[in-house]
Structure 1
Amino acid sequence: MIRQICCLLLLSTLTACTASEAVKPSPQRTTMVATGDLGFLSTQTRHFAWHPTLAKVVADERVESDQVIGNMQQALKKALEAKGYQLVSRQQSPDLLVGFGLTLSSDMSDSEILQKTGLVPGLSTFGVDMNKYEKGSVLVALFEPQSPEPVWRALGQGFTDFERDGAKRQQGFNEFISVMLTAIPAI
């Protein structure tokens, strides 16, 4: 009997010991939030154009705004074309308009983003070396051509590494935008 009790005590002591590896926070993490109704999209909704006024970059001198706008348009075009949509000019009567905005946390806080867009993913900077990375926010909005208000919008946040070369940065951006547009149906 005593031998059985000793075995049980020894067994419970062994199972109570655990080892775990500390999880290192990653600057590659992202958060996203989306709102709106994509019900206006159908198999007849095939053509999109850039929104005439919503193509904005709010960032300091480390960011070349014109280049970022071009990169963003390239990423959006690639993601939407992969779903079957086609870019046309606004004069060609598109079925939807696509607008976007980008900012860095040093230029616009989460509370300012919430105030302007009504959305905020709230990406935590805990454990991230903010001397090397900066939190960036990307807004994508879809409009019906005659509507001044977006019918759908998504806001994503992630960390940008200014030391990353251009090709790798564009690849990461393409992947990020593709994930942001996951809810948009393919045609």
Structure 2
Amino acid sequence: MKKNISLALALFSCLYVSACVTVPQEKQINKNQLAISSVRDIPISYPLGSLFSLAPKYVKETSLKAAQTQAVYKLYANAIIADLNTHGYKSTEDASSSVFHVGFGIALASDLSDEVINDKFGITPGLPSNNEFKKGSFLIYIEDALTGKKVWRGAVQGFAHEDMKDTEREQRTAAIVNRVMKQFYATN
């Protein structure tokens, strides 16, 4: 009888100890994850039909080749123009006739850290870095043409998709621009 009780206690102890063992889980990283943040600086609204112009800002030193940088900026410029046009605003290349300017910049985390973004731009979405993927940032702002002051700022961080086909890249860029610009439209 004592032998059975001892055996039962030993078995129970083993089960109890094995139940207490925790297995660390691998962190799942979603390559499509986006972190988006924005802030309204001045309560100025622009009526539908207002003219806007683009004012791209380039990072001084980048790990991308010049042709790659130009291609990425062209993708984002086209997406910004299309999104604003869809929402009732009109693009112009004549900056002096525009009511507001849309400034934007794109950079990999290796070229522009979160700390620098926060210091220079004032907001950082805070997507955690990952050794598997290259983190990138898309910064955009609306500047009032009359006062020269920033009205709204938005920032998106995600992981670069270097292996995408051109049409997929265009769709992803349009989706990223649309998601951050929704925050501008909601406050305009």
Place the TM-score, normalised by the shorter chain, in its bin.
Answer: 0.7 to 0.9
Q: Structure 1 pair 172/44, CA: closer, same or farther in 2 (3 Å)?
A: closer
Q: One-letter code of the match for 2:107?
A: T
| Partner SS, residue 154 of structure 2 | strand
The whole-number CA distance in structure 1 between the counterparts of 2:110 and 2:185 is 34
User: Normalising by the residue count of structure 1, what TM-score does the alignment of the two structures yield?
Assistant: 0.76
Question: What is the CA-CA distance between 1:38 and the residue it aligns to?
Answer: 6.2
Give the aligned partner of residue 71 of structure 1.
Answer: 75
Number of aligned residues:
161
Question: What is the CA-CA distance between 1:29 and the residue it aligns to?
Answer: 0.7
Is contact 2:39-2:152 (8 Å) kept? yes
Give the aligned partner of residue 82 of structure 1.
Answer: 86
The whole-number CA distance in structure 1 between the counterparts of 2:91 and 2:50 is 9
Structure (1 or 2) with the larger CA radius of gyration: 2
Deviation by residue 1:65-98 (Cα, 9 ceiling, x = unmatched): 1111211110101111111111012256111111
Q: Does residue 158 of structure 1 match 2:123?
A: no
Question: What is the CA-CA distance between 1:99 and the residue it aligns to?
Answer: 0.6
The whole-number CA distance in structure 2 between the counterparts of 1:155 and 1:84 is 22
The whole-number CA distance in structure 2 between the counterparts of 1:44 and 1:174 is 21
Give the aligned partner of residue 147 of structure 1.
Answer: 147
User: Normalising by the residue count of structure 2, what TM-score does the alignment of the two structures yield?
Assistant: 0.75
4+ residue segments displaced more than 4 Å? none
Is contact 1:59-1:103 (8 Å) kept? yes
Is contact 1:35-1:154 (8 Å) kept? yes
Q: Structure 1 pair 170/44, CA: closer, same or farther in 2 (3 Å)?
A: closer
Q: One-letter code of the match for 1:152?
A: W
The whole-number CA distance in structure 2 between the counterparts of 1:44 and 1:61 is 37
Deviation by residue 1:10-65 (Cα, 9 ceiling, x = unmatched): xxxxxxxxxxxx883311111111112463223266211113xx432563135711
Q: One-letter code of the match for 1:93?
A: S
The whole-number CA distance in structure 2 between the counterparts of 1:30 and 1:71 is 18
Give the aligned partner of residue 55 of structure 1.
Answer: 57
Q: Does residue 28 of structure 1 match 2:32?
A: yes
Q: One-letter code of the match for 1:56?
A: Y
Q: One-letter code of the match for 1:110?
A: D
The whole-number CA distance in structure 1 between the counterparts of 2:64 and 2:92 is 32
Unmatched tracts of structure 1, length 5 or more? 1-21
The whole-number CA distance in structure 2 between the counterparts of 1:38 and 1:77 is 22
Question: What is the CA-CA distance between 1:148 and the residue it aligns to?
Answer: 3.4
The CA RMSD measured in Å over matched residues stands at 2.5
Alignment identity in percent? Answer: 23
Unmatched tracts of structure 2, length 5 or more? 1-25
Q: Does residue 97 of structure 1 match 2:110?
A: no
The whole-number CA distance in structure 1 between the counterparts of 2:72 and 2:121 is 20
The whole-number CA distance in structure 2 between the counterparts of 1:67 and 1:139 is 17
Of Structure 1 and Structure 2, the greater helix share is in 2
Question: What is the CA-CA distance between 1:106 and the residue it aligns to?
Answer: 1.1
